[in-house]
Amino acid sequence: MNLELTDEQEAVRRLARDFVRREVTPYAAAWDRAEEVDRGIVKKLGEVGFLGLTIDEEYGGSGGDHLAYCLVTEELGRGDSSVRGIVSVSLGLVAKTIAAWGTEEQKRTWLPGLTSGAYVGCFGLTEPGTGSDAGNLATRAVRDGDEYVIDGSKMFITNGTWADVVLLFARSTDAPGHKGVSAFLVPTDTAGLTRRAVHGKLGLRGQATAELVFDGVRVPASAMLGEEGKGFSVAMSALAKGRMSVAAGCVGIAQAALDAAVAYAGEREQFGKPIAGHQLVQELISDIAVDVDAARLLTWRVADLIDRGKPFAVESSKAKLFASEAAVRAANNALQVFGGYGYIDEYPAGKLLRDARVMTLYEGTSQIQKLVIGRALTGISAF
Ligand code: FAD
C-alpha cells in the first residue's frame, strides 16, 4: 500500500477541512447542547459532494475512492461526530447499499436524492429486543398479493426522525435464523409508520435518533432490496463497510483530542512552566498520538483493500474495534490534560469522550468485533 495520498485525495481532504472549519466546528457545541444539529447541514453536505462519495456520477454521486471517503469522514468526525454520523448512515449504510444491491429502478428512485442531500436515509436493523443477535428479528413482512405488510419496531435508529427512507430488515419467511430475513426500502411517509425521538443520549446528542414503529405498513414487492431471504447478507455487507466509516470517524475524534491536548498543554502553566513540560503530561499526549496513527493506518488499510477489490470484512472489524477503543482512550487522556476544565463543556474534551463512547457499542459492540475476528482466526464461531 502506498501511504502517500494522491493529489486528488489531498484536495478532498483540504475541501473537507475547510468545510468543517466553516460549517461544523463553530456550531458543534451549541448543537450538542440543543440536542439537534441544524438540518440545513444535510443540503450543504450534498452540495459539496460528501453524500455522494464512491457513488457513480450516473446516479448523482461524486465518485472518488474509499480512502477519500475515509479522509472526509475523519475530518467530519474531527469537527462533530453527530454530523459525521449523518453521512456514515445516509451515504455509508443506505446509499452505498442501494448502489451495491439495488435494481436499476431502486437506484434511480433513491440515489440522486440521497447523494444530493434532498433525502436522508436511515438503517433499521436493531429492535428493542434484538441488538447484537441481529439475525434474530421479530419485525415481520408478510406477503399479501403484490405487497408486503410490515409489523414491528426498530430501536436507536440514527437519522430516524429526519429520514425520508428506511433501509429496513424484517423476517419475511419462516426459514430458520437469519435465512428468513429480507431487506426493504420503505418511504417514511408510508401509512402506519410512526417515529419517536430518543432523547437523553450520553453523546451524539445532536443526532436525530429514533424508535420506528411499523403497524400494518404496506410496501410493493418491488421495495425489496436484494433477494428474499438475503436480507442478512445485505445488512452484513453494509456493516462491513460501515465499520470502516465508524473507524474513520473515531480517528477524527482522536485527532481532535490530540489537537486540543497539545494546544492546552502549551498554554496552561503549573509549577512555573507550561504543563506540556511535565513528563507525565507528555506521556498522556504521546499515548494519544500513537492511538491516532495506529487507528488511522488500520482504517486506511481497509479502504485500500476495498479499492483493490480484496476481502476486507475482518480487517474492517479490527479497525473498528481498535479505533473505537482508541478514541475513548484518546478523549479520556485529553480530558486528563485539561484537568478540571476538561469536565465542563466550555472545553472540548468532555464532548469528545461522550461522542466516542458509543463507537464501541454500535455497528457491533467491541465484543462482537472480537467474535468476528476470533471466528476468522480459529474457524470456530463463538456467537
Ligand atoms: P446487546 O446486544 O443487548 O448487548 C449487551 C451487552 O452484551 C454488550 O456488552 C454486548 O457486547 C454483550 N453481548 C451480546 N452478545 C454477546 C456475545 N455473543 N458474546 C459476548 N458479549 C455479548 N442500530 C441500527 O440498526 N441502526 C442505527 O442507525 C443505529 N444507530 C444507533 C445509534 C446509537 C446512538 C445507539 C446507542 C445505537 C444505535 N444502533 C443502531 C443500535 C446498536 O447497533 C446496538 O445498540 C448494538 O448493536 C448493541 O445492541 P444492544 O444495544 O441491543 O446490546
CA of 224 to the centre of ligand 1 (A): 25
Please tell me the predicted confidence (pLDDT) of residue 283. Answer: 98
Cell of 377: 482466526
- Diameter over CA atoms, the chain: 79
What are the helix (H) ranges across the chain? 7-19, 25-34, 40-47, 66-79, 81-87, 96-101, 104-116, 231-267, 279-307, 313-338, 349-357, 366-378
User: What is the ipTM metric for this complex?
Assistant: 0.99
Query: What is the per-residue pLDDT for 177?
Result: 87
Instruction: State which amino acid sits at residue 324.
Output: S
Whether 152 and 214 have beta carbons less than 8 Å apart is answered as yes
In sequence order, which residues have a C-beta less than 8 Å from that of residue 178 and are 6 or more positions away? 134, 135, 136, 231, 232
The Cα–Cα gap between 227 and 270 comes to 64
Pocket (CB within 6 angstroms of ligand 1): 89, 122-126, 131-132, 156-158, 201, 204, 209, 358, 361-363, 365, 367-368, 383
Q: Compute, in angstroms, the gap from residue 39 CA to the centroid of ligand 1.
A: 26
To test ligand 1's pocket by mutation, which of 84, 125, 136, 156 has the most ligand atoms within 8 angstroms of CB?
A: 156
Contacts of 37 (CB under 8 A, 6+ apart): 31, 80, 82, 83, 86, 206, 207, 208
Query: Best mutation site among 168, 362, 372, 375 for ligand 1, i.e. most ligand atoms within 8 A of its Cβ?
Result: 362
CA of 242 to the centre of ligand 1 (A): 15
Whether 171 and 180 have beta carbons less than 8 Å apart is answered as yes
pLDDT of residue 237: 98
Looking at the chain, how many residues does it have? Answer: 383
Mutate to test the pocket of ligand 1, among 97, 320, 361 (most ligand atoms within 8 A of CB): 361
Using a 10 angstrom Cβ sphere, with 0-12 exposed, 13-18 middle and 19 or more buried, the burial of residue 146 is: exposed
State how far the Cα of 174 lies from the Cα of 152, in Å rounded to an integer.
16
Task: Tell how far CA 287 is from the center of its chain.
Answer: 25
| DSSP of 194-211 | EEEE----SS-TTS-EEE
* DSSP classification of residue 359: G
Atom of ligand 1 nearest to the CA of 158: 28
Tell me how far the alpha carbon of residue 210 lies from the centroid of ligand 1, in angstroms.
15
| pTM of the predicted model as reported, rounded to 2 decimal places | 0.98
Say how far apart CA 47 and CA 93 lie, in whole Å: 20
**DSSP 3-state of 216:** strand
Q: In this structure, are residues 256 and 348 in contact, taking their beta carbons and an 8 Å threshold?
A: yes
pLDDT tens string, the chain, 383 residues long: the values are 778 999 999 999 999 999 999 999 999 999 999 999 999 999 999 999 999 999 999 999 999 999 999 999 999 999 999 999 999 999 999 999 999 999 999 999 999 999 999 999 999 999 999 999 999 999 999 999 999 999 999 999 999 999 999 999 999 999 998 999 999 999 999 999 999 999 999 999 999 999 999 999 999 999 999 999 999 999 999 999 999 999 999 999 999 999 999 999 999 999 999 999 999 999 999 999 999 999 999 999 999 999 999 999 999 999 999 999 999 999 999 999 999 999 999 999 999 999 999 999 999 999 999 999 999 999 999 99
Active site residue 363: yes
Work out which ligand 1 atom sits closest to the CA atom of 125: 25
Atom number in ligand 1 closest to CA 132 = 2
Classify residue 361 as exposed, middle or buried by CB count within 10 Å of its CB (0-12, 13-18, 19+): middle
Scan for cell 428506511, then name that residue: 166
Return the closest-CA partner of residue 369 out of 289, 292, 302.
302
- Ligand 1 mean position, distance from CA 357 (Å): 13
Ligand 1 atom closest to 198 (CA): 34
Q: State the Cα–Cα distance between residues 29 and 79, nearest whole angstrom.
A: 10
DSSP state of 185: E
With contact defined as beta carbons under 8 Å apart, do 193 and 213 qualify? yes
* Residues contacting 292, CB < 8 A, separation 6+: 251, 254, 255, 258, 326, 330
Consecutive H or E run containing 217: strand 209-220
Ligand 1: centre distance to CA 243 (Å): 14
95: Cα separation from own chain's centroid: 13
Q: What are phi and psi of 265, to 5 degrees?
A: -65, -25
- pLDDT score, position 2: 77
